[in-house]
Structure 1
């Protein structure tokens, strides 16, 4: 299926563990029957957005699995991503909103869960009691460190050599450019 979305000259790894796609003749026949020339592959903004959404769901599932291995069940992947976004700095909710793709009501809920679980401290501002500063606690830092360690294994799978690293950098730059283009188009129009 992946090959049908790519030009015929793009090679895709077709093994999963000890199983080769060639071991399944019906898959191989379908793959060959559905080959399209390179010029028929059209990647639209909608297809990119759908792919980004799917990748995000897969990553959330991966985070959930890693957190289950760590025995973490009081917060979910979205809250873990908030922790990672806060990092090792103290910041306001507004600054946190700028760092991620959160909706105000969602971030309030996430921060409440993180505070209730002991992963963050919310400290009221001395000047404005309506405003709060947020920082990750030692418990939160430990969760972040554990998730980063687990992520290292996936990084090694994705970046096996210099070409893989270059491709990841290109993917990141492309996604960043999409973010800028789509954000500016939403704010200012085309």
Structure 2
């Protein structure tokens, strides 16, 4: 389907659902930024720390992996890791498997900060869940209707 065909098939309900979803995401982002700022972190620092914490226990976070997770350039991830290490939030250690690779680990104080932030974030998401789910449901239902119409 071409972009033009997709544009022609948008209904007023699609625009409303997209606007509602964007608004809900924006509210969550504003909430998150305020919470993070209150603890002296930037949103990007919080995202980096959460990415490190969210990695499965059997894996080790490298600077390259962090760049991928944050959708930033490797040199930007290196600078971010340097700032986080200087502030005492993380430590860099050499990989036991490949000494050339740098592994990034959270410090104990960072674990406590993340627990506090994540608890607040989960509470906010749970409060917003009905709004988010409704916007997504409307968008998903529209897609199902388009598929049914196409198959007919």
TM-score of Structure 1 vs Structure 2, range by shorter chain: 0.5 to 0.7
Return the alpha-carbon distance in structure 2 between the equivalents of residues 57 and 110 of structure 1: 26
Question: Do structure 1's residue 95 and structure 2's residue 65 form an aligned pair?
Answer: yes
Question: Do structure 1's residue 65 and structure 2's residue 34 form an aligned pair?
Answer: yes
1:114/1:152 Cα in 2 relative to 1: closer, same or farther (>3 Å)?
Answer: same
Question: Do structure 1's residue 110 and structure 2's residue 76 form an aligned pair?
Answer: no
Query: Which deviations, in whole Å up to 9, do the C-alpha atoms of 1:43-90 show, x marking residues without a partner?
Result: 6xxx99xx59xx46961x433311344xx22x3110110110111643
Residue 92 of structure 2: aligned partner: 122
Return the alpha-carbon distance in structure 2 between the equivalents of residues 56 and 77 of structure 1: 14
Q: Which one has the bigger helix percentage?
A: 2
Question: Do structure 1's residue 140 and structure 2's residue 110 form an aligned pair?
Answer: yes
Residue 72 of structure 2: SS of its match in structure 1? coil
Q: CA deviation at 1:159?
A: 2.2
CA contact (8 A) 1:66 1:147 kept: yes
Q: CA deviation at 1:148?
A: 0.9
Query: Which deviations, in whole Å up to 9, do the C-alpha atoms of 1:128-157 show, x marking residues without a partner?
Result: 443201111111111211111111331232
- The size of the alignment, in residue pairs, is 122
Residue 78 of structure 1: aligned partner: 44
1:83/1:100 Cα in 2 relative to 1: closer, same or farther (>3 Å)?
Answer: same
Return the alpha-carbon distance in structure 1 between the equivalents of residues 73 and 26 of structure 2: 16
CA RMSD, aligned part only? Answer: 3.6
Name the TM-score, length of structure 1 as normaliser.
0.50
Query: Looking at both structures, which has the greater relative contact order when contacts are Cα pairs under 8 Å and sequence separation is at least 6?
Result: 2
